[in-house]
């Protein structure tokens, strides 16, 4: 979905050609995996961060094209709406000082973003869902002027036979909204972690990523409000799932945005087979590239938004690799917080993936999925089932099990101890205090009343301090 296309209207022949090439490339992928053509080298990590552009009144401002022109940075690119942009990190070999290198690079890019935004009499902010966002902001007048986004909107509505998208989120309060386009998706900004693994270790790491998703969404929650309504601790989860709903409610596990349908049993091939067999083609863009580049397979996979998604890439020599895209974390509250989330995720995943007994053998997939939605709804104030079959408060699970696992996993990867101690110390303090981004926002509203403009201004000021959220004043 990240590349631009040449047209946004399609006919039946486009679908037929695309489906034929998708079928061929899916078969070719099976052959490439069987003949061990995928990379077996060391672990590599990276990230994507989606951010908001705000005006002087802390409301979204649709100026991303002017902003990006001034940035002139290939790591900063458009997003669906004109008031969002995406910041990307340079892939880092996951050892030594990888976490601080990512931190320094993101901080430098962010400082440049702030300078450019100020020159445009605006600002940038990292938060899962913007408290001052209005339903009226999410309109086609504010869609980024790229053909791929117009095509996405047209094809989603076509698949729904023109029926509007119905948003119904039942949280602390209930929100019901009807929308005529896919722009609701623009209300969900995230911090997406990527991990490229040796292909022989991909399955174990992918399943560990699924198991960890509940704890990750709980500790990182930062989206409690939408349209001034108090909903889930991480409202991005139901919002995104409903925003691109293709009418597949009879099979909720097979919606375009979902937790998935099961653990990987052998190779990642199963996800791509499922894409071919169960998900209708959404964007039938036909390429003239060689089948070995898997262009059609990769584009189709880009229109199936699992919260943990396998991605295929190629290095500068044309050699394929596989990576995990972990999509559950929201943007913010601070760069330090996001790097701490990365340390917890990467370390605990690597530890779990290396156990003699695969942890997925002790936690049924349906339990991992239920854990995820419980954690997204209730955040750190809930309990989930763990590998021993017992139920634990998520804060206790983090402090007693997951943080030590992450520490051991980072040590196995060769991350320097000082970095592990610093970033996991932030997670430990956040879990001990119960103060993640969502809890801070709720505490501010409880203390100062339901003034979402004031909340946003205070949040932005605290974010600019650079301190992790557990140190923020209310």
* pLDDT band, residue 254 (cuts 50/70/90): low
What is the per-residue pLDDT for 3?
54
* pLDDT band, residue 154 (cuts 50/70/90): confident
Q: 168 has which bridge partners? A: 176
> Could you tell me what percentage of the chain is helix, strand and coil, using 3-state DSSP and rounding each to the nearest 5?
50, 15, 35
* pLDDT above 90 coverage of the chain, percent: 87
pLDDT at 453 over 90: yes
- Lowest mean pLDDT segment, chosen from 247-256, 266-275, 411-420: 247-256
Q: How many residues does the chain have?
A: 474
What is the per-residue pLDDT for 82?
97
Q: Identify whether the C-beta of residue 322 lies closer than 8 Å to the C-beta of residue 312.
A: yes
Burial of 154 (0-12, 13-18, 19+ CB in 10 A): middle
pLDDT digits (tens, 9 = 90+) for 352-372: 999 999 999 999 999 999 999
pLDDT at 42 over 90: no
Higher pLDDT, 2 or 73: 73
Q: What is the mean pLDDT of residues 188-198?
A: 98
For residue 164, how many other CB atoms are within 10 A of its CB? 12
C-alpha 66/C-alpha 62 separation (Å) is 9
What is the per-residue pLDDT for 6?
58
Which residues, 6 or more positions from 433, have their beta carbon under 8 angstroms from its beta carbon?
Answer: 470
> What domains sit in the chain, N to C, each tagged with a CATH number?
12-467 (3.30.590.20)
* pLDDT band, residue 4 (cuts 50/70/90): very low
Cα–Cα distances (Å) from 63 to 53, 70, 149, in that order, read: 7, 11, 16
**DSSP, res 333:** S
Share the mean pLDDT of the chain: 94
pLDDT at 151 over 90: no
Q: What is the mean pLDDT of residues 426-454?
A: 98
What is the per-residue pLDDT for 248?
52
pLDDT digits (tens, 9 = 90+) for 126-145: 999 999 999 999 999 999 99
* Range 236-240 contact pairs with CB under 8 angstroms and sequence separation of 24 or more: 236/128, 236/129, 236/187, 236/188, 236/189, 236/190, 236/330, 237/307, 237/328, 237/373, 237/376, 238/169, 238/376, 239/129, 239/167, 239/169, 239/184, 239/187, 239/188, 240/185, 240/188, 240/305
* pLDDT band, residue 15 (cuts 50/70/90): very high
Phi, psi of 39 (to 5 degrees): -60, 135
DSSP for 155-205, written as a single string: HHHHHTTTPPEEEEEESSSEEEEEESSGGGGGG--BEEEEEE--GGGHHHH
* pLDDT band, residue 220 (cuts 50/70/90): very high
pLDDT digits (tens, 9 = 90+) for 165-185: 899 999 999 999 999 899 999
Coil vs helix vs strand at 355: coil
* pLDDT above 70 coverage of the chain, percent: 97
Annotate 230-262 with three-state secondary structure.
ECCCECHHHHHHHHCCCCCCCCHHHCCEECCCC
What is the per-residue pLDDT for 465?
97
* pLDDT band, residue 266 (cuts 50/70/90): confident
* pLDDT band, residue 1 (cuts 50/70/90): very low
- Lowest mean pLDDT segment, chosen from 44-53, 119-128, 279-288: 279-288
Q: What is the mean pLDDT of residues 427-444?
A: 98
pLDDT at 247 over 70: no
Q: Identify whether the C-beta of residue 387 lies closer than 8 Å to the C-beta of residue 363.
A: yes
What is the per-residue pLDDT for 250?
47
C-alpha 474/C-alpha 472 separation (Å) is 7
What is the per-residue pLDDT for 160?
80
Predicted TM-score (pTM) of the model is 0.96
pLDDT at 251 over 60: no
- Lowest mean pLDDT segment, chosen from 51-65, 78-92, 253-267: 253-267
C-alpha angle 404-409-412 in degrees, rounded to nearest 5: 130
């Amino acid at each position: 979905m990240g590349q631009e296309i040449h047209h946004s209207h399609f006919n039946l022949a486009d679908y037929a050609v695309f489906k034929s090439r998708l079928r061929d490339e899916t078969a070719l992928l099976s052959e490439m995996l069987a003949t061990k053509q995928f990379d077996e080298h060391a672990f590599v990590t990276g990230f994507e961060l989606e951010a908001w552009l705000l005006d002087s009144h802390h409301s979204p401002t649709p100026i991303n094209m002017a902003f990006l022109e001034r940035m002139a940075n290939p790591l900063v690119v458009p997003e669906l709406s004109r008031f969002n942009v995406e910041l990307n990190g340079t892939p880092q070999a996951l050892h030594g000082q990888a976490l601080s290198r990512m931190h320094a690079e993101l901080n430098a890019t962010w400082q440049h973003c702030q300078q450019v935004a100020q020159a445009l009499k605006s600002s940038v902010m990292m938060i899962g869902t913007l408290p001052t966002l209005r339903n009226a902001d999410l309109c086609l007048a504010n869609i980024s002027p790229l053909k791929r986004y117009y095509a996405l909107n047209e094809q989603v509505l076509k698949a729904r036979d023109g029926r509007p998208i119905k948003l119904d989120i039942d949280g602390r309060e209930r929100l019901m909204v009807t929308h005529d386009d896919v722009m609701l998706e623009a209300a969900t900004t995230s911090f997406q972690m990527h991990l490229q693994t040796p292909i022989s270790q991909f399955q174990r790491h992918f399943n560990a990523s699924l198991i960890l998703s509940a704890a990750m969404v709980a500790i990182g929650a930062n989206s409690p409000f939408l349209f001034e309504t108090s909903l889930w601790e991480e409202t991005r989860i139901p919002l995104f799932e409903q925003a691109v709903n293709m009418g597949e409610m009879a099979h909720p596990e097979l919606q375009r945005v979902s937790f998935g349908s099961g653990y990987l049993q052998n190779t990642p091939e199963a996800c791509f087979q499922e894409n071919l067999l169960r998900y209708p083609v959404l964007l039938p863009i036909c390429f003239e590239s060689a089948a070995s580049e898997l262009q059609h397979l990769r584009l189709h996979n880009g229109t199936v938004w699992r919260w943990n998604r396998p991605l295929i890439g190629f290095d500068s020599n044309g050699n394929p690799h596989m990576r995990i895209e972990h999509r559950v974390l929201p943007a913010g509250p601070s760069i330090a917080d996001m790097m701490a989330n990365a340390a917890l995720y990467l370390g605990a995943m690597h530890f779990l993936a290396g156990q003699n007994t695969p942890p997925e053998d002790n936690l049924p997939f349906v339990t991992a999925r239920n854990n995820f939605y419980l954690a997204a709804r209730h955040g750190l104030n809930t309990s989930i089932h763990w590998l021993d079959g017992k139920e634990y408060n998520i804060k206790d699970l983090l402090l007693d099990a997951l943080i030590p696992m992450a520490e051991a996993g980072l040590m196995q990867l060769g991350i320097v101890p000082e970095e592990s101690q610093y970033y996991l110390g932030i997670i430990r303090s956040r879990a001990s205090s119960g103060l993640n981004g969502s809890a801070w926002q709720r505490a501010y509203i409880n203390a100062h009343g339901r003034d979402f403009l004031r909340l946003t201004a205070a949040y932005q000021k605290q974010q600019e301090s650079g301190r992790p959220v557990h140190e923020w004043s209310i």
